């Protein structure tokens, strides 16, 4: 219980006091303070208090209860004052601005899961009012940072002589952004970093500008508490009976795996290397190159990306329309390649993670896009990938009933008593989305389409595949960005050749 009490105290201080030099984590080793992975927590619990499995479950429930109390405590003042702010929004605009400032503080205080959700919400101008999206937009790149002292503590886990190979200014200009789980500094490597290249015989590289990404301290504890709360909520939702066909518990576990990978920066470095290999033949799509000698679980050193973030382009009405359309098309082409050809998808493509550059002759005709923050990636098994490609092929070719049959035949579980009715329902949704053989972002609402599919799954008792959840979420985020850049972009016209190519390679591989 002593360790649990310190855990709750850490959560409350992290949320309500923010980051300051007076805050100190519980007395543990530096690496343990920074990691606090589920494995490390279980090992510490077993070593210190020898918790039995039954008692450990009660501890998880108690931690979830504490987290629920914290969420209630933070959100209650906002919900209580919302009617007053709404009624007086034109009379007292200063009250409205103050309420939104408190709302942003509360979002940051509730931790990375809430910040990540609001980052996604800020891209959905088709669901939320544009004014609300504008107010939520700053959390895409700037949340409350941790202190320089805590950054040095993380860097010390990288190597003892980190100050000899990395030059980071201590002023505020060195920090270029702070996200939901980490913050980024601009730094310069020195010529002493001779092992930056994996080839030992290669000459030492010249000093170069890099980005240093550092995990927020205590963030893993917060995410674990949020996941426990989500698991309980998912169990309660599925316990109602009808909603079990949404695979809510499976979705939560899928989300948990994604979040755990994001908290280990070695996974992000490996993902960047794989993306760079997948797009090696492209000059218009780039990913930062990690410096492997300077990568561990808590710190990632990679190429510094210069350019204009898409978030700035979206806010600039003077930006050329044709260039916005070219950016949208390049981004869609890259995403389709990830989904249908590479089976390795960047799952966090909000406007703050895509940069545009036109500074070389090679990129004058076509925008040069750089994708950063590859901590969230999705990869399907071969069977799930086959199901996913076949399903979208049926949708792209207007075979709605065939898509419905595929969902039933390849569902892990269903109790559908009227397969024909389910197939007709899916067919109506496909016909509505692809009316006139077009699927333009300005006319469709992917969120509403998914909502209709979920309703059909409940009505006909067909279990939705949880493996597709992360890809559908990535599609939703990118859809919001693409809609703002080019509402007339036809997804169907762009996706059909890629899907056909994917099916060809898939059939050839099976033969």
Q: How many CB atoms lie within 10 A of CB 313?
A: 21
Between strands 368-371 and 285-286, the pairing is parallel
pLDDT beyond 50 at 198 = no
Query: Ranked by mean pLDDT, which of 186-195, 289-298, 348-357 comes out on top?
Result: 289-298
pLDDT score at 317: 82
CA–CA distances in Å: residue 109 to residues 74, 178, 355, 479: 8, 14, 28, 28
Count of helix runs (H) and strand runs (E) in the chain: 20, 12
Mean pLDDT of 367-374: 91
In angstroms, the CA 484 to CA 58 distance is 47
- For residue 273, name the pLDDT band (cuts at 50, 70, 90): very high
Mean confidence (pLDDT) of the chain: 75
Task: Give per-residue pLDDT as tens, 467-504.
Answer: 666 676 677 667 777 777 887 777 777 778 888 888 87
Between strands 166-168 and 182-189, the pairing is antiparallel
Q: How many CB atoms lie within 10 A of CB 473?
A: 19
In angstroms, the CA 185 to CA 194 distance is 22
CATH of domain 148-217+264-303: 3.30.200
**Is residue 112 within 8 Å of residue 222, measured between CB atoms?**
yes
Please tell me the chain's helix, strand, coil percentages from 3-state DSSP, rounded to the nearest 5. Answer: 60, 10, 30
pLDDT beyond 60 at 28 = no
Quick one: which of 156, 147, 136 has its CA closest to 185? 147
- For residue 369, name the pLDDT band (cuts at 50, 70, 90): very high
Task: Give per-residue pLDDT as tens, 408-418.
Answer: 887 777 778 88
Mean pLDDT of 115-130: 69
Mean pLDDT of 437-461: 68
In angstroms, the CA 331 to CA 370 distance is 10
Task: Give per-residue pLDDT as tens, 29-67.
Answer: 333 333 333 334 344 444 444 445 667 677 777 777 888
In angstroms, the CA 488 to CA 494 distance is 12
**Is residue 146 within 8 Å of residue 110, measured between CB atoms?**
no
Token pair 């985020």 in the structure block, residue: 477
pLDDT score at 246: 59
Mean pLDDT of 4-28: 37
Residue-by-residue DSSP string for 392-457: HHHHHTT-HHHHHHHHHHT-S-B--S-HHHHHHHHHHHHHHHTGGG--BTTT--HHHHHHHHHHHH
Q: Give the CB-side neighbour count of residue 83, counting CA atoms within 13 A.
A: 2
Q: What ranges do the domains of the chain cover?
A: 2-140, 148-217+264-303, 307-511
Catalytic residue among 126, 348, 373, 390: 348
Q: Residue 511 catalytic? A: no
pLDDT score at 172: 59
Burial (CB < 10 A; 0-12, 13-18, 19+), residue 159, is: middle
In angstroms, the CA 23 to CA 147 distance is 10
pLDDT beyond 80 at 217 = yes
Sequence-separated contacts (24+) of 164-173 with Cβ below 8 Å: 164/190, 164/192, 165/189, 165/190, 165/192, 165/193, 165/294, 166/190, 166/210, 166/212, 166/294, 166/301, 168/212
In angstroms, the CA 314 to CA 318 distance is 10
Task: Give per-residue pLDDT as tens, 136-171.
Answer: 777 776 788 888 889 999 999 988 888 888 888 776
* Helix, strand or coil, per DSSP, at residue 218: coil
In angstroms, the CA 114 to CA 108 distance is 7
Burial (CB < 10 A; 0-12, 13-18, 19+), residue 251, is: buried
Residue of 128 and 164 predicted with greater confidence: 164
Q: What is the CA radius of gyration of the chain?
A: 24
């Amino acid at each position: 219980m002593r360790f649990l009490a310190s855990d709750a105290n850490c959560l409350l201080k992290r949320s309500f006091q923010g980051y300051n030099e007076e805050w100190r984590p519980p007395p543990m080793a530096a690496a343990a303070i920074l990691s606090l992975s589920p494995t490390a927590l279980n090992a510490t619990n077993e070593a210190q208090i020898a918790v039995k499995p039954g008692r450990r479950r009660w501890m998880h429930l108690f931690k979830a209860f504490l987290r629920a109390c914290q969420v209630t405590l933070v959100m209650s003042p906002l919900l209580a004052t919302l009617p007053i702010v709404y009624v007086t929004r034109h009379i007292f605009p200063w009250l409205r601005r103050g309420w939104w400032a408190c709302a942003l503080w509360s979002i940051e205080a509730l931790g990375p899961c809430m910040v990540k959700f609001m980052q996604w919400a800020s891209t959905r101008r088709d669901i939320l009012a544009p004014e609300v999206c504008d107010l939520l937009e700053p959390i895409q790149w700037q949340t409350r940072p941790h202190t320089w002292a805590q950054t040095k503590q993380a860097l010390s886990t990288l190597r003892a002589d980190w100050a000899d190979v990395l030059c980071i200014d201590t002023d505020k200009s060195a920090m270029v952004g702070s996200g939901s789980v980490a913050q980024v500094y601009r730094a310069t490597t020195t010529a002493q970093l001779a092992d930056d290249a994996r080839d030992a015989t290669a000459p030492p590289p010249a000093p170069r500008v890099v980005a240093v990404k550092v995990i927020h301290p205590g963030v893993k504890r917060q995410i674990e508490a949020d996941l426990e709360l989500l698991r309980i909520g998912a169990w309660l939702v599925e316990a109602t009976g009808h909603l079990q066909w949404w695979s809510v518990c499976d979705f939560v576990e899928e989300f948990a795996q994604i979040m755990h990978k994001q908290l280990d920066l070695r996974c992000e470095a490996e993902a960047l290397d794989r993306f760079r290999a997948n797009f090696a033949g492209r000059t218009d799509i780039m990913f930062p190159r990690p410096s492997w000698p300077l990568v561990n679980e808590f710190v990632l050193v990679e190429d510094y990306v210069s350019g204009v973030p898409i978030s700035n382009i979206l806010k600039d009405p003077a930006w050329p329309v044709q260039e916005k359309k070219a950016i949208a098309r390049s981004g869609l082409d890259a995403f389709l390649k990830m989904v249908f050809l590479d089976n390795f998808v960047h799952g966090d493509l909000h406007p703050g993670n895509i940069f545009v550059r036109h500074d070389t002759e090679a990129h004058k005709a076509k925008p040069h896009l750089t994708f950063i923050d590859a901590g969230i990636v999705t990869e399907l098994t071969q069977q799930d990938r086959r199901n996913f490609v076949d399903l979208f092929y049926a949708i792209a070719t207007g075979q709605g009933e065939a898509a419905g049959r595929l969902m039933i035949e390849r569902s892990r579980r269903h109790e559908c008593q009227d397969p024909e009715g389910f197939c007709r329902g899916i067919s109506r949704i496909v016909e509505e989305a692809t009316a006139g053989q077009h699927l333009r972002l300005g006319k469709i609402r992917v969120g509403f389409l998914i909502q209709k599919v979920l309703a059909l799954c409940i009505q006909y008792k067909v279990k939705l595949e949880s493996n597709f959840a992360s890809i559908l979420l990535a599609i939703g985020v990118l859809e919001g960005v693409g809609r703002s850049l080019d509402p007339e972009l036809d997804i169907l016209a762009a996706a059909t050749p890629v899907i056909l190519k994917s099916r060809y390679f898939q059939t050839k591989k099976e033969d």
